Amino acid sequence: MRNTTQRTRRAIALGLAAAALGGGLTLGSSGAAVAQPIPPSGPNQSNNNPPAGVFGSQAQHQPAPHDMTRGIGYWYDQQWPNWHNIGDRQWFPGHPVRDARTGQTVQTIIYTGGRYQDYDGRLRAFMNAGLAGTSSIGYRGTFQEYNTTVYTGTQNSNVPRRDARRIVRALTTGDVWWTNDHYSTFHYLGRL
């Protein structure tokens, strides 16, 4: 009987110690162990509820509009330069293209964008909800924004610097979102 009591006490003590380390149990006022729910937020939470204004998921990619695909392809071909090596918000030379009207080869340009701050936390909330895949949960890295409009010619007063179409990429995971309304809504494109 004595050995059984000691084993029971030891098992209870080990269980309480493990629960305390894991944060899963607290002691109630009567000394009984009480299970506590997992906190509603945190880096390891996976609830599959997207934040407001962010659409899609790892299982349901949102294809970008046709008028953005050329710019997305350009940045992909450039291996996603970012604010570390191209600076913030400046003109960047694009690929030379053949003008269908004139038959001549012309230079293209694209505006770089810059570091995207995610001030409202929607992209990190999307990642922490597990919607970009489990490897993106707890993301602490930075984001880069990219303009997607490719212009023909050189920078001059007739070429607008920016429009409402952008993509945002998590630098270390490669998760990409597109927006065609200047960050009012985001659509998950996938990992590029």
Question: Which pLDDT tens digit goes with each residue over 99-139?
Answer: 888 888 888 888 888 899 999 999 999 999 999 999 999 99
C-alpha 37/C-alpha 25 separation (Å) is 9
For residue 95, the model assigns a pLDDT of: 79
- Cα 172 to chain centroid, rounded: 10
Contact 166, 113 (CB under 8 A): yes
pLDDT < 70: residue spans in the chain: 1-48, 153-161
> For 126, which DSSP code?
H
Residue pointed to by tokens 């004139």? 102
For residue 169, the model assigns a pLDDT of: 97
Output the pTM of the full model.
0.69
Structure tokens at 79: 């291996």
For residue 57, the model assigns a pLDDT of: 96
